Chain A
Amino acid sequence: DGGITQSPKYLFRKEGQNVTLSCEQNLNHDAMYWYRQDPGQGLRLIYYSQIVNDFQKGDIAEGYSVSREKKESFPLTVTSAQKNPTAFYLCASSRTANQISYEQYFGPGTRLTVT
């Protein structure tokens, strides 16, 4: 089945540790995105990538880093510089980033808890 996988579903870390969230898609989509969702809130864009080896900051990129070395993979690293890392992280992809008629497909999310 085509889709987006995120792992793990739940992740626990101690404060001060970096952690990397995995996102893989087999939809052959060019564009990939990372969003963050806090309880009772909508989604906020962290980073996005329109093509391999290229990515841009979203609205809340501080304390996060990404890489896009392969078309199907877009891992997100939450660094110790992120002040409030506990959240629900969602990865998405779309055929391209430029066509607004193309929907974004979302993964099941990773719930990160930092204590």
Chain B
Amino acid sequence: DAKTTQPNSMESNEEEPVHLPCNHSTISGTDYIHWYRQLPSQGPEYVIHGLTSNVNNRMASLAIAEDRKSSTLILHRATLRDAAVYYCILRRSGGSNYKLTFGKGTLLTVNP
């Protein structure tokens, strides 16, 4: 399975945008990029996913590099409730696509 690399931690101020990077240099053409986040002592929560084009939803935006070797999750205005571990996950169509393979993710701290 293709691997992802994320910074261990990042810090942001409340009401400022946050850009969370993810490198996936061995991504294949059929790999979807998914993002989940996990608040302290809770189960993970789906954030967004995409294949090639940039994606927006009510929670965040996903910017995917043209060569797809990296992507960035964008939180437009961070709030204290956005403090969580953010996971970037690749899911390949076919084969063992049923499972989510979580790495260690990026711990986002939001300062008031």
Q: Which of A12-20, A65-73, A103-111 lies on the face that meets chain B?
A: A103-111
Question: B104 — which chain A residues lie within 8 A by C-beta?
Answer: 40-42
In the complex the two chains form, what is the Cα distance from A32 to B91 in whole Å?
Answer: 17
Stretch of B13-21, B37-45, B66-74, B75-83 at the chain-chain interface? B37-45
State which residues 75-112 of B face A: CB under 8 Å: 87, 91-93, 97-105
Cross-chain contact B42 with A100 (CB below 8 angstroms): no
Interface size class of B (residues with CB under 8 A): 20 to 34
**Top-9 shortest CB links A-B:** A106-B43, A42-B102, A103-B46, A97-B98, A100-B91, A43-B102, A45-B99, A100-B97, A90-B43
By beta carbon, the residue of chain A nearest B107 is A40
Q: Report Cα–Cα, A105/B98, bound state, in Å.
A: 13
Chain B positions 26 through 41: 1 when the CB is less than 8 Å from some CB of chain A, otherwise 0: 0000001010000001
Q: A4-B43, A92-B44 are in contact. List 4 more A-B contacts (CB 8 A).
A: A33-B98, A42-B102, A42-B104, A90-B44
> In terms of DSSP, what is the predominant structure of the interface of chain B?
loop
- Nearest CB of chain B from residue A30's CB, rounded to whole Å: 11
In the assembled complex, 14 residue pairs joining A and B whose CB atoms fall closer than 8 Å, in A order, are A4-B43, A41-B104, A42-B105, A43-B44, A43-B100, A43-B102, A59-B99, A90-B44, A92-B44, A98-B97, A100-B91, A100-B97, A104-B100, A106-B43
Residues of A within 8 A of B105 (CB): 42
Q: In the docked arrangement, what's the CA distance between A100 and B1, Å?
A: 14
Instruction: Tell whether, in the assembled complex, residue B49 and residue A101 are in contact, meaning their CB atoms are under 8 Å apart.
Output: yes
